Amino acid sequence: MAVLVVAEHDNASLKDATNKVVTAAKALSSDVDVLVAGEGAGAAASAAAGLAGVRKVLHAEGTAFAQGIAESMQGLIVPLMANYDAVLFAATATGKNAAPRIAAALDVSPISDIQEVVDEKTFVRPIYAGNALETVESSDAKKVITVRTTAFAAAGVGGSGAVESIGAGTPAAQVVFKGAEIVKSDRPELAGAKRVVSGGRAMGSADEFHHVIEPLADKLGAAVGASRAAVDAGYAPNDYQVGQTGKVVAPELYVAVGISGAIQHLAGMKDSKVIVAINKDGDAPIFAIADYGLVADYKTAVPELMGELSKVGL
Amino acid sequence: MKVLVPVKRVIDYNVKVRVKPDQTGVDLANVKMSMNPFCEIAVEEAVRLKEKGVVTEIVAVSIGPQQAQETIRTALAMGADRGLLIQTDEDLEPLAVAKLLKAVVGEESPDLVLMGKQAIDGDNNATGQMLAALLGWPQATFASKIEIAGSKASVTREIDGGLQTLEVALPAVVTADLRLNEPRYASLPNIMKAKKKTIDIKAPSDYGVDSAPRLKVLKVTEPPKRAGGIKVESAEQLVGKLKEAGVI
């Protein structure tokens, strides 16, 4: 069987999510091709060709693909599926937007957010916000899959796949891209960060969030996250949200500050390697899953922690 | 203009989910069920568009068991005008749901389908996109802001790293994200009024749609439990432990 991976990129460069999806694809087949559809995405295509185990890269270059619009991706990918038995996307906003549309066009039941490949038609995926895992067997001839990237290791480099140029596509007539506001930050991207510091409702204000959580994150070289309660209260922007309805992260170190540990939040971070919780309520549910719990008011604990981190050279 | 709002009856989001010991699924017996939170947001947005005078009629449709009538009643109490239940005890996949909704769209001819981005049971996040594809309509998923002007909708979407604004030609499918609005509680007079509104009841077979499952659930299991760790006494001890663990 042959598998197509739809690359996640920002036109300028390939995103690490692609490397993870390639690993999932290799569990299905040794014939893995990567589709890079974008505008000015030549470097991303070359990077994809350099991933270990990639047979070749299909590079579709055109304005129609600059924003990953689902309708344009459908027009591109559906005909390509004549040559593939499965197509895999990262379970990101872009992947989740496009994959089901393509599945419906192929009359296929999509398999969302897989975290394990059992065999070429059997997959494990979380349901009920990760409170249960479902093992499903697909009877569709072609599989359309999105991949939970935190569950797979990144494919290495060292491949030497060829890059093949394919059509420029046609912009979808009924959809016009009007603009985007991407938050500019020097911090690592939340979804792929090795360390994450998250703040909760206990922060009490956006100012406090800014003055407590962000310096600690910067000291650790970490991405900033937040609980849904903190986001709903307006202390942090929506794309900081870690949890069932936000981002799912699995960093090496996750520091939860003033977060009680609602089920929705735990669903988004419980696969982190080491979890630290700082909360003044010793009975908070977050302590049940934290490797290291510090029962203290964050107002004193975070400055102390900053001081101790400085002592060890951070 | 007319809006169709699909709504789903799911386990209440505050209920702790328990996997059945025989691994056939999740225990839903004697558990509180509610309208899926994202569907509630979609209903609220439709009602606000009606209050602004943009929308003239809201039809709430649910596909599910007989009790899904309660979910439709909730939508009617929030401000939807009438309801449609496609009654089935089968747990249909998004593909089958999208096919049924396509048939409903064929009968109702709405200008907009406004629905939640995902249901919190299956967590598929697929039905809206699939319906759009089957209809050949544009889609705007994960909406945090919707503005209707003439025959177009300008939709701000929650994407990774920020926001994106798309203008889609109507008719279209728009799916609601968390921050689109905060749903209202239905008032008692509106709950009473909702009892007089009509709910039509149909069966999947009325629509001649192939709803056979494509995915076979082999088992449903509990995720591995994470063992709790230790409490530390001070920030100093914490940093020591993190160094030992090799994460700083």
Residue A139 to residue B26, Cβ atoms within 8 A: no
Q: Any chain B CB within 8 A of the CB of A198?
A: no
Q: Is B5 left (phi over 0), alpha (psi -120 to 50) or beta?
A: beta
For residue B121, which residues of chain A lie inside 8 Å, CB to CB? Answer: 127-128
Using CA atoms, how far residue A161 sits from A12, A50, A169, A233, A268, in Å, is 19, 6, 23, 48, 35
How many CB atoms are located within 10 Å of the residue B24 CB? 11
DSSP SS3 for B136 = coil
| B158-168 pLDDT per residue, tens | 998 889 999 99
Backbone φ and ψ for A64, nearest 5 degrees, come out as -60, -25
DSSP SS3 for A112 = strand
Residue A239 to residue B137, Cβ atoms within 8 A: no
Q: Any chain A CB within 8 A of the CB of B164?
A: yes
Stretch B100-104: mean pLDDT, rounded? 98
Question: pTM for the whole thing?
Answer: 0.93
**Vertex A12, ends A6 and A18: CA angle to 5°?**
30
Q: Any chain B CB within 8 A of the CB of A263?
A: yes
C-beta of residue A103 within 8 angstroms of C-beta of residue B95: yes
Output the pLDDT for position B148: 98
Output the pLDDT for position A191: 82
Strands A292-295 and B230-232: parallel
A3 alpha-carbon distance from chain centroid: 20
Q: Any chain A CB within 8 A of the CB of B29?
A: no
Residue A311 to residue B239, Cβ atoms within 8 A: yes
Residue type, A240: Y
- DSSP letters, A76-104, are HHHHHGGG-SEEEEESSHHHHHHHHHHHH
Mean of pLDDT over chain B: 96
DSSP SS3 for A26 = helix
Checking if the pLDDT of B18 tops 90, the result is yes
- The helix or strand, by DSSP H or E, that contains position B35, with its residue range, turns out to be strand B33-35
- Provide block-wise average pLDDT over 10 residues at a time, chain A (314 residues): 96 95 97 97 97 97 94 96 98 96 98 97 94 96 96 93 90 92 86 93 96 97 96 89 86 97 89 96 95 97 97 92
Q: Any chain B CB within 8 A of the CB of A43?
A: no
Token representation of residue A250? 């699995």
Instruction: Please give the ipTM for the structure prediction.
Output: 0.95
Residue A253 to residue B93, Cβ atoms within 8 A: no
Output the pLDDT for position A186: 86
Residue A312 to residue B248, Cβ atoms within 8 A: yes
Q: Any chain B CB within 8 A of the CB of A195?
A: yes
| B29-57 pLDDT per residue, tens | 999 999 999 999 999 999 999 999 999 99
Euclidean distance between CA atoms B12 and A141, whole angstroms: 35
Stretch B95-120: mean pLDDT, rounded? 98
Nearest CA among A52, A10, A34 for reference residue A89: A34
For residue B11, which residues of chain A lie inside 8 Å, CB to CB? Answer: 128
Distance from CA of A249 to the nearest CA of B (A): 13
Stretch B130-156: mean pLDDT, rounded? 97
Euclidean distance between CA atoms B66 and A287, whole angstroms: 41
Residue A305 to residue B239, Cβ atoms within 8 A: yes
Whose tokens are 């295509």? That residue is A45
DSSP SS3 for A185 = coil
In residues, how long is chain B? 248
Distance from CA of A94 to the nearest CA of B (A): 7
Q: Any chain A CB within 8 A of the CB of B212?
A: no
Output the pLDDT for position A92: 93
Stretch B94-107: mean pLDDT, rounded? 98
Task: Give me the residues of B, 192-211, that contact A with CB < 8 A.
Answer: none
For residue B213, which residues of chain A lie inside 8 Å, CB to CB? Answer: 109
Q: Which of B139, B218, B248 is nearest residue A136 as measured by Cβ atoms?
A: B218
> Which of A245, A265, A269 is the best mutation test for B, with the most CBs of B within 10 A?
A245
For residue A175, which residues of chain B lie inside 8 Å, CB to CB? Answer: 138, 140, 166-169
Task: Give me the residues of A, 134-173, that contact B with CB < 8 A.
Answer: 134-140, 172-173
Q: Which of B93, B231, B234 is nearest residue A109 as measured by Cβ atoms?
A: B93
Euclidean distance between CA atoms A202 and A2, whole angstroms: 50
Output the pLDDT for position B227: 80
- DSSP letters, A116-141, are EEEETTEEEEEEGGGTEEEEEEE--S
Output the pLDDT for position A179: 95
